[in-house]
Amino acid sequence: MHELSIALEICRVVEERLLPEQLPQLVEIGLDVGADTTIEVANLQFCLDTLLAHPPFAGATVVIARGDGDDTRVSYLEIDDERPTH
């Protein structure tokens, strides 16, 4: 199940892009997954939902868009700066 390693890498990228105090404020992650990848989207969604349910994340959701090509990328990060950081 290489989707778990992809999900872990996505979490690493998110942690790299946000300040530590912003991680609990993360509400949504947008992903673009190319149709030519070998990624099982349902498996990736499950892995991400599981990982994001635990600290340092606060139950952020993932929106996966399928597109052309074989790239997978984080397209956006949505934070709620009104959300408590603890």
Note whether residue 86 is domain-resident.
no
Q: Report how far residue 38's alpha carbon sits from residue 34's, in angstroms, rounded to the nearest whole number.
A: 9
Note whether residue 74 is domain-resident.
yes
Note whether residue 31 is domain-resident.
yes
**Tokens standing for residue 78:** 């949505």
Contact 26, 76 (CB under 8 A): no
28: CATH: 3.30.2320.50
Range of the structural domain that residue 18 is part of: 2-79
Nearest CA to 2 out of 54, 47, 52, 36 is that of: 47
DSSP bridge partners of 67: 34
Say how many domains are in the chain.
1
Note whether residue 35 is domain-resident.
yes
Span 1-57, pLDDT tens digits: 599 999 999 999 999 999 999 999 999 999 999 999 999 999 999 999 999 999 998
Q: What is the pTM of this model?
A: 0.89
Note whether residue 84 is domain-resident.
no
pLDDT of residue 17: 96
